[in-house]
Amino acid sequence: MNLSIKSIIFLTLLTLSINLYSKEDISHASKPLLDKPLVERYILDELKDLRMENMKLRNELQKRITKLEIEQTDRAARYMTDTIGNVFYLIAAATSILIFAGWNSLRDIRHKTENIIEERVNNIIKKYNKQMESIKDEMTLQSKNILDNQNKIYNTQYIHSLWLRSNLETNPQSKIDIYDEILKINDNDAEVYAYKADALIDLDEYEWALSLSNKAIEIDSEYGYAYWQRSCANAATGNSKEALSDLIIAIEKSPNLKDEIENELLFESLKENEEFKDLLS
C-alpha cells in the first residue's frame, strides 16, 4: 500500500472517530478518552511503517550502487587488458620493422619499448580514473537527491500528523508544544507562527503573540490570518488604532474572516469605533 492510500485511510478513520465523538451522549463521556490514544497509536504505527519503508529503500539503493561500481570496475579491467594486449602487438610489429630497417641495438629497442608501454599504461590509468571519478560523482549526487526526497516525504508526513494532533488538542500549552515540534522541522512556515500566536492569546501572552504575528507577516505578507492574530493582540493590549488597521487588512486578504468578527471577544473595545461598525455592516 503506497503512502497516498495510507493517508486516505488514516484521514477516513480520523473523521469517523471525530463523528463518533460528537454523537456520544453524556453517559458515554469516557469513551473519547479511549479513542484519542487509539488515534495517536495509529499515527505512531504509520510513522514506524514509514521509517521501515525508508530503511528498506535505503538498503536497496546501497545494493544497486555497489552492483554498479562492481560492473564499472570489471568493464574497466577488461578494457585495460585488451588495450595492453593491443599495445604489445603494436610493439612487436614496430620492433620487427625497426630490425628490418637496421635498428639492431637491443638496448635501444628495450628502452624505447619500456617508454612506449609506460606512456600508454599511464594514459589508460588516467582515463580510467577520470571515468571512475565521473561515475562516482554522478552516483553520489543521485544518492543525495534520493535521500533528500525521502527526508522531505518523511518530514511532510510527520508535519501532517502533528497538525492532526494539534486539531485534537484543547489545551493551549499542548498546542504550543506541537507547533514547536513543527517549527523544528520547518521554521519558515507563516501558518505555524500564526496558530501559535492564537494559542498564546488564549494564555494571555499578548506581547509574545504580537511578536509571532509579526514573524508570520514577515514570512508571508499575504497571509490574512496573521494580520487577524496581530489585530487581536493589539486589541488586548489597548492599541485600538493598530488593531483596527490590522483587522481591515486581514479581511481584505481573507474575506471569510469577516464572519468571525462578532464572535471575537477581544474586539469588544472596538465596537464603538465607526470604522469597526462599517466593517460589521
Q: What's the pLDDT tens digit per position in 245-255?
A: 888 898 888 88
Who has greater pLDDT, 82 or 193? 193
- The span from the CA of 236 to the CA of 204, in Å, is 9
Residue 2's pLDDT band, with cuts at 50, 70 and 90, is very low
Who has greater pLDDT, 88 or 204? 204
Residue 28's pLDDT band, with cuts at 50, 70 and 90, is very low
- The span from the CA of 248 to the CA of 183, in Å, is 28
- The span from the CA of 116 to the CA of 28, in Å, is 93
Q: What is the mean pLDDT of residues 250-264?
A: 84
- The span from the CA of 228 to the CA of 20, in Å, is 32
Residue entry with cell 568493464:
75
**Mutual angle of helices 190-202 and 172-185, in 10-degree steps:** 160
The pLDDT assigned to 275 comes to 77
The pLDDT assigned to 267 comes to 82
Q: String of b and e for 24-56 (b: at least 16 CB within 10 Å)?
A: eeeeeeeebeebeeebeebbeebeeebeeeeee
Highest mean pLDDT among 20-29, 134-143, 211-220: 211-220
Q: Reduced to 3 states, what is the DSSP secondary structure of residue 272? A: coil
> Is the predicted pLDDT of residue 16 greater than 90, yes or no?
no
Half-sphere exposure of 269 (CA within 13 A, CB side): 15
The pLDDT assigned to 181 comes to 92
The pLDDT assigned to 13 comes to 59
Chain centroid, CA 128 distance in Å: 37
- Amino acid letter, residue 222: E
> Is the predicted pLDDT of residue 66 greater than 70, yes or no?
yes
pTM confidence score: 0.50
In the chain, pLDDT over 70 holds for what percent of residues? 80
Q: What is the mean pLDDT of residues 39-45?
A: 73
- Amino acid letter, residue 180: D
Half-sphere exposure of 170 (CA within 13 A, CB side): 2
> Is the predicted pLDDT of residue 81 greater than 60, yes or no?
yes
Return the minimum-mean-pLDDT range out of 130-139, 171-180, 198-207: 130-139
Q: What is the mean pLDDT of residues 71-77?
A: 74
Q: What is the mean pLDDT of residues 103-128?
A: 78
> Is the predicted pLDDT of residue 5 greater than 90, yes or no?
no
Residue 1's pLDDT band, with cuts at 50, 70 and 90, is very low
DSSP 257: G
Q: Rg (Cα) of the chain, in Å, rounded?
A: 35
Residue 243: count other Cβ atoms within 10 Å of its Cβ: 24
Q: Which CATH architecture has domain 172-280?
A: Alpha Horseshoe (1.25)
Q: What is the mean pLDDT of residues 35-57?
A: 74
- The span from the CA of 82 to the CA of 87, in Å, is 9
Half-sphere exposure of 240 (CA within 13 A, CB side): 10
Q: Are 208 and 224 in contact (CB under 8 A)?
A: no
Q: What is the mean pLDDT of residues 46-75?
A: 78
Q: Are 235 and 265 in contact (CB under 8 A)?
A: no
- The span from the CA of 194 to the CA of 207, in Å, is 13
Q: What is the mean pLDDT of residues 255-273?
A: 81
- The span from the CA of 109 to the CA of 98, in Å, is 8
- The span from the CA of 131 to the CA of 168, in Å, is 56
Closest CA to 257 of 210, 215, 214, 224: 224
Q: Which regions of the chain carry the CATH code 1.25.40.10? A: 172-280
Residue entry with cell 451522549:
25
For the stretch 184-210, pLDDT in tens is 988 888 999 999 999 998 888 989 999
In the chain, pLDDT over 90 holds for what percent of residues? 12
